[in-house]
Amino acid sequence: MPAPSFRSIARPLAVGLLLASTAAAARPPVEEPDNLLNDSLTLQAGLVSSSNHTTVRYDSAAGTPGTVIDGEKDLGLPSRKLAGRAELMFRMKKRHRVHIGNYYLPLDRRATVPLEKTINFGNSTYNVGDIVASSLKVRLLAINYTYDFVKTDRVELGASLGFDVIGFEASATVAARLRSETQDHSAPAPLAGLDGTVRLSSRFYGEARAQYVRANVQEVHGSLQTYEANLLYRLNPNVTFGLGYSGFKVNVDSQKATDGGQFAMRSNGPQLFARVGF
């Protein structure tokens, strides 16, 4: 039997390779979610199991220093609170983002307990054994602009600048003695920080943010710090779930003669959220 020629072997081999490549090209590509880093608009809503510690002091109108009160120990305010957070993000250009966030389930707490120590709060004195109904309301609204100085398909890292509007109202009431005092403040606080996201795989991402400000304005000294770190899972091109940890610290000390006092609060805890993006 004569040996097969090169042409007789090459021709069917070439035809086979051509058919195989045609079949491979005809197969649908492996499904992969869109890149989270390219979303132009997202809406996020979730819950935070926050652990809270609060300190309040309210001086009298005559300038007499009030008693430093531990909100959880002295007034019985719950240290744990389930809060709801929502955030809207829109990307104006490839490197430019704006975040708007708010607590839609606020960090409001209240309690009624008998006092175990004498407390001077504003112009009122509360004695040992008085049944005090206290409440603390906290409001936060954050608006931040971020410029990404690093922007690739896998990483974005930016510098943020914006402000948080913080409002709080603390009140103490002894109904039996018709005595009540309320302290409330609200002011915008400018913030600067860093914001970064890393694509770990086709569906998993990591993100972190931190912002800080310290300022002295008209005898009022204050500082604010916010932070969070999350692990994200991209279920499909429009839905993402996240698990992480977030918190904030605020400290306001007023040395005004007729409106002196201090408010300090630390709130942090794990969070779980869902995000819809386009």
Q: What's the CA gap between 123 and 18, in Å, rounded? A: 91
Q: Using one digit for the tens of pLDDT, what is the confidence trace for 159-177?
A: 999 988 888 888 999 988 8
More confident residue, 28 or 264: 264
Q: What's the CA gap between 153 and 219, in Å, rounded? A: 47
Concatenating the DSSP letter of every residue in the chain gives -PPPPHHHHHHHHHHHHHHHHHHHHHSPPPP-PPPGGG-SEEEEEEEEEEEEEEEEEE--TT------EETTTTS---SEEEEEEEEEEEEEETTEEEEEEEEEE---EEEEEE-SS-EEETTEEE-TT-EEEEEEEEEEEEEEEEEEEEE-SSEEEEEEEEEEEEEEEEEEEEGGGTEEEEEEEEEEEEEEEEEEEEE-SSSEEEEEEEEEEEEEETTEEEEEEEEEEEEEEEEETTEEEEEEEEEEEEEEEE--SSS-EEEEEEEEEEEEEEEEE-
Specify the pLDDT at position 16.
Answer: 52
pLDDT of 89 over the 50 cut: yes
Specify the pLDDT at position 18.
Answer: 52
When pLDDT is cut at 50, 70 and 90, the band that residue 220 belongs to is: confident
Contact 234, 205 (CB under 8 A): yes
The whole-angstrom distance between residue 221's C-alpha and the CA centroid of its chain comes to: 23
pLDDT of 43 over the 70 cut: yes
Specify the pLDDT at position 79.
Answer: 96
Two tokens, residue 34? 């869109």
Q: Using one digit for the tens of pLDDT, what is the confidence trace for 186-196?
A: 777 889 999 99
pLDDT of 182 over the 70 cut: yes
**Average pLDDT of the residues of the chain:** 88
Q: What's the CA gap between 129 and 205, in Å, rounded? A: 54
Pick from 255, 168, 170, 240: nearest CA to 204: 240
Over residues 56-75, mean pLDDT: 93
More confident residue, 127 or 8: 127
> In 201-231, which positions are buried (b, 16+ CB within 10 angstroms) versus exposed (e)?
eeeebebbbbbebeeeeeebebbbbbbbebe
Over residues 70-86, mean pLDDT: 96
Specify the pLDDT at position 242.
Answer: 98
Q: Using one digit for the tens of pLDDT, what is the confidence trace for 130-152?
A: 999 999 999 889 999 999 999 99
Contact 182, 169 (CB under 8 A): yes
Specify the pLDDT at position 226.
Answer: 94
Q: Which domains does the chain have, with CATH numbers?
A: 37-277 (2.40.128.90)
Residue type, 214: R
Specify the pLDDT at position 11.
Answer: 58
Over residues 24-50, mean pLDDT: 78
- Compute how many other C-beta atoms are within 10 angstroms of the C-beta atom of residue 94: 11
Specify the pLDDT at position 27.
Answer: 47
Over residues 177-190, mean pLDDT: 81
pLDDT of 183 over the 70 cut: yes
Pick from 208, 216, 212, 210: nearest CA to 225: 212
Share of the chain above pLDDT 70, in %: 88
When pLDDT is cut at 50, 70 and 90, the band that residue 78 belongs to is: very high
Specify the pLDDT at position 209.
Answer: 96
